[in-house]
Amino acid sequence: MTLVFNQKLAPKIPAISFVTVLGAECGFYRRLRSRLGAPKAITATAHKLARLFYQIWATTGQYLDPDIDYYQQKYQEQVLKSLRNKANALGLELVPISPSTLNTSSSLNHAT
């Protein structure tokens, strides 16, 4: 029996393992998988892991892994920035809703 080593698949093996792991890179993989599909998400995650590996290697192991909460906060900021840009392109402005406004509007809805 001959063991065949697939050179194209080898860099993607660590990325495939992100299906069940928690962490910032896992969130990256899951977001890309929902948008692009599994094969492209695996390839993109493999590229990101290769860049992280090079960063660790070049800085002699000085790398701090951000947790999933940091990644989610960064992603929410990115989505909000995108919404602001889209609103500005349409000549609109995003205005944050205060908690007191939410309570007032909900009580008005129940009164009518």
Is residue 22 scored above 80 in pLDDT? Answer: no
Cβ 28 vs Cβ 45: under 8 Å: yes
| pLDDT tens digits, 51-72 | 888 888 888 777 776 777 887 8
- Number of domains comprising the chain: 1
In the chain, the percentage of residues whose pLDDT exceeds 90 is 18
CA–CA distance from 14 to each of 11, 65, 79, 83, 105 (Å)? Answer: 7, 16, 28, 34, 50
Please give the residue range of the domain that contains residue 51. Answer: 10-111
The number of helices, as runs of H, and strands, as runs of E, in the chain is 5, 0
In a domain, 1, yes or no: no
In a domain, 38, yes or no: yes
φ, ψ of residue 74 to 5 degrees: the values are: -65, -40
In a domain, 106, yes or no: yes
Which pLDDT band, with edges at 50, 70 and 90, does 90 fall under?
very high
Dihedral, 27, 31, 37, 41 alpha carbons, nearest 10: -50
Task: Give the three-class secondary structure for 95.
Answer: coil
What pLDDT does residue 62 have? 73
Mean pLDDT calculated for residue range 12-19? 62
DSSP, res 7: T
Nearest alpha-carbon partner for 28 in 7, 55, 51: 51
Task: Give the three-class secondary structure for 18.
Answer: helix
